[in-house]
A and B are shown apart, each in its own frame.
Chain A
Amino acid sequence: MKELLKKLTETAAPSGHEANIRNLIRKEIEPYVDEISVDVMGNLIARKGKKQKDGHRILIAAHMDEIGLMASHISEKGFVYVASIGGVNPLTCVGSRVVFLNGTVGVISLETEKIDKVPTINQLFIDVGATSADDCPVNVGDVCVFDRPFIDMRKRMVAKAMDDRVGCLLAIETLKQIKESPNELVFVFTTQEEIGARGATTSAYGVDPEIGIALDVTLSADTPHCTPVNPVLGEGPCIKVRDSSLIAHPAVIEAMKKAAASRKIKVQMEVLRFAGTDAGAIHTVRSGVPSGCLSIACRYVHSPSEMIDTSDVENAIVMLKVLLENPIAL
């Protein structure tokens, strides 16, 4: 499991440019699915099983994309100015390294030495070792992501893009383990979640599900002087009640609770006052879809080092398998 998570998190795939991670996931799941396809927006759609009595067509969404930066200007001296792809915090950028999809590595720095307030993204630049615009290996429109290795800390794991490669991991592991289900399971590895759940918007329309379940990370609140929200690391998978994009369907919440209880897994109820997931897009598609979200508590979300708890992931896989192997009473 950790070996796969390492591969998933170390793959570079910012929103809109998910081919690398899609190819990796497709190789992992292809032997276990009935049908696999890629749609216009780049979503990877894997179908498994047929709908039986009491079963539903369930869309399980985990987003493949990660936050990143896009080159917006190459200066005369060869420095790369950038725009953000998704919620990038300039505070965590300065001093970080990035890798462009063409392999170019760069260091992020800041226009001014006078640092008296949080810089804006327009003040950041990437030094890729060029001496002028002419020998700069990056063009306007090229994209990059943080360059950081996955580290196994035993109880905890840390990596860039844990948001949402851990969701991808849950989907992959569950997909591999499920043998029998009354449900038609449609696993969608979505694109462009970080810029507004856009891949989920179109794939949910195409799949036309009866139930939607997103797999994503959520903010933890167990670090010094942090904003008080409820989930913490190591206290179990989180069942989302609401965030700013979704009020989860009560029946989906109940089914999740039941699945966890059947294996004596401790869960946390998650109420997030801001941010959203793919479930936000799925639940309003067509004539509406009862939806929910299973989350993994995560520290330092959208930084180059996102930290999660190993047991939370293990328990989420067990819980998700039970949830999908049984009928969900709406």
Chain B
Amino acid sequence: MPINCKKQTLPTIEKEQIDLLARLSNASGVSGDEAEVRKIIREEITPFADSVETDVMGNLIAQKNAKGKCALHVLIAAHMDEVGFMLVDKDSEGIYRFSLIGGIDERSLAGKQVLIGKDHLPGVIGACPVHLSTKEERECILKLESLRIDAGPGCTDLQLGSYAVFATRFQAFGPSLIGKALDNRLGVATLIELLKHCPEHIHLTAAFTVQEEIGARGAAAVAYNHKPDLAFILDSTPAMDQPSYDNAENTQYRTRLGFGPAIYAMDSNTLYDHRMVEFLKTTATENGIPYQIRQPGGGGTDAGAVHLSQDGIPTATISVPGRYAHTAVMIARKSDWENTLRLLTASLDSVSQDIFKNER
């Protein structure tokens, strides 16, 4: 009996998946306030999982049991949270000071619309009209201290501590996916698909984690509590692949749109287990799936917490590349997302202890 018979077809991204991504992208879920996103995911996955629970940190964890004993225990984690804002003080009628949650460049904020709290109340990060600003003012960077969220006259009873997100609404256009929080709702949407079609030879823990953007705090608890044999982290990573202004060769692009899923070799928090990297590269090649090695360097994912949990967990990260991460809008490619889903599907089909037959 053939054991590792390959699936003949790998999944594709259809309207159904894009519609789900749209709902996920449009939902509000700043670090520490992931309930709205979690609710969408829970409804989506409950029919397909053997158990679904929310842990102390707020991570949503679904288990899919293997058929047969001694199965490999695989953790796949995708963080639910996004970067955003918190109201911290009231200046006057409807005008609020705010702080940043997660890494946001304050230069990208003036003039952006936001949605505040559970009811998605509209607000604006106000900017001075060009008519009234001086030349000197226009040459200065607007610092966070001088920015406010204007929720409009009459909106004076917003609770301090309320969260806010960019108001960008999702669009799929041509080959592109455009929206806020695609870091990491793309990973979330991928993990939902994987859970729905999980092969029977592995035990899968699918973790939709919280608070990644402020230090992989949810993932640390998941890894400690569930102690898998190995882990895949699904995330989104910046692409800086635009041409250089002087037409010189761009040597610092990090990742490039259209080149397929980005496999990590090294980031600030993890030097990836080369056995995992080789497994992913081999799986991609065997299945004709394009991939790219993300340029080693800064940044980090849930892997930073997961791989150091207890006495160590072999961990890989695979990201969908996107331009303008952590601003009001990201642009990603549908093809990169689809190839990410295909790479993970093929990897789950063939994953086994054989990856570790050589020492790291």
Q: Footprint of B on A, CB under 8 Å?
A: 15-19, 22, 38-42, 70-73, 75-76, 81, 83, 85, 122, 139-141, 191-192, 195, 198, 201-203, 205-206
CB pairs A–B below 8 angstroms (22 shown): A18-B360, A40-B311, A40-B312, A40-B314, A41-B360, A42-B360, A71-B296, A72-B252, A75-B251, A76-B249, A81-B251, A81-B252, A83-B297, A140-B265, A140-B296, A141-B296, A195-B271, A198-B308, A202-B310, A203-B311, A205-B311, A206-B311
Min CB distance, A22 to chain B, in Å?
A: 7
Contact status B271-A19, CB under 8 Å: no
Contact status A70-B296, CB under 8 Å: yes
- Given A42-B359, A140-B265, A140-B293, residue A73 in contact with residue B251 (CB < 8 A): yes
Contact status A202-B312, CB under 8 Å: yes
Contact status B266-A83, CB under 8 Å: yes
Contact status A19-B359, CB under 8 Å: yes
| Interface of B, helix, strand, loop or mixed by DSSP | loop
Residue in B295, B307, B308 whose beta carbon sits within 8 Å of that of A140 in the complex? B295
B267 nearest in chain A by CB position? A83
> In the complex, what distance in Å separates the CA atom of A102 from the CA atom of B249?
27
Q: Collect the chain A residues with CB atoms within 8 Å of residue B272's CB.
A: 16
Q: Collect the chain A residues with CB atoms within 8 Å of residue B311's CB.
A: 39-40, 202-203, 205-206
Q: Collect the chain A residues with CB atoms within 8 Å of residue B265's CB.
A: 70, 140-141
B248 nearest in chain A by CB position? A111
A43 nearest in chain B by CB position? B312
Q: Given contacts A39-B312, A85-B271, A206-B310, could you give 11 more A-B pairs where the C-beta distance is less than 8 Å?
A: A16-B271, A40-B360, A72-B295, A73-B251, A73-B252, A73-B253, A75-B249, A83-B296, A140-B293, A141-B265, A191-B360
Min CB distance, B294 to chain A, in Å?
A: 9
Min CB distance, A210 to chain B, in Å?
A: 17
Contact status B293-A141, CB under 8 Å: yes
Contact status A122-B252, CB under 8 Å: yes
Min CB distance, B75 to chain A, in Å?
A: 14
> In the complex, what distance in Å separates the CA atom of A71 from the CA atom of B249?
16
B313 interface contact, C-beta 8 A = yes
Q: Collect the chain A residues with CB atoms within 8 Å of residue B307's CB.
A: 41, 198
> In the complex, what distance in Å separates the CA atom of A65 from the CA atom of B313?
19
Residue in B249, B266, B295 whose beta carbon sits within 8 Å of that of A85 in the complex? B266
> In the complex, what distance in Å separates the CA atom of A81 from the CA atom of B360?
25
Q: Collect the chain B residues with CB atoms within 8 Å of residue A22's CB.
A: 359
B360 nearest in chain A by CB position? A42
A-B pairs with lowest CB-CB distance, top 10 = A206-B311, A16-B271, A40-B312, A202-B312, A141-B265, A42-B360, A83-B296, A41-B312, A72-B295, A140-B293
Q: Collect the chain A residues with CB atoms within 8 Å of residue B274's CB.
A: 16-17
B234 interface contact, C-beta 8 A = no
As a 0/1 sequence over residues 219 to 250 of chain B, the CB contacts with chain A under 8 angstroms (1 = contact) are 00000000000000000000000000000010
Q: Collect the chain B residues with CB atoms within 8 Å of residue A38's CB.
A: 359-360
> In the complex, what distance in Å separates the CA atom of A202 from the CA atom of B310?
6
> In the complex, what distance in Å separates the CA atom of A51 from the CA atom of B220?
33
B263 nearest in chain A by CB position? A141
B253 nearest in chain A by CB position? A73
As a 0/1 sequence over residues 329 to 360 of chain B, the CB contacts with chain A under 8 angstroms (1 = contact) are 00000000000000000000000000000011
Q: Collect the chain A residues with CB atoms within 8 Å of residue B249's CB.
A: 75-76
B204 interface contact, C-beta 8 A = no
Min CB distance, A49 to chain B, in Å?
A: 22
Min CB distance, A124 to chain B, in Å?
A: 11
As a 0/1 sequence over residues 246 to 286 of chain B, the CB contacts with chain A under 8 angstroms (1 = contact) are 00010111000000000001100001111001000000000
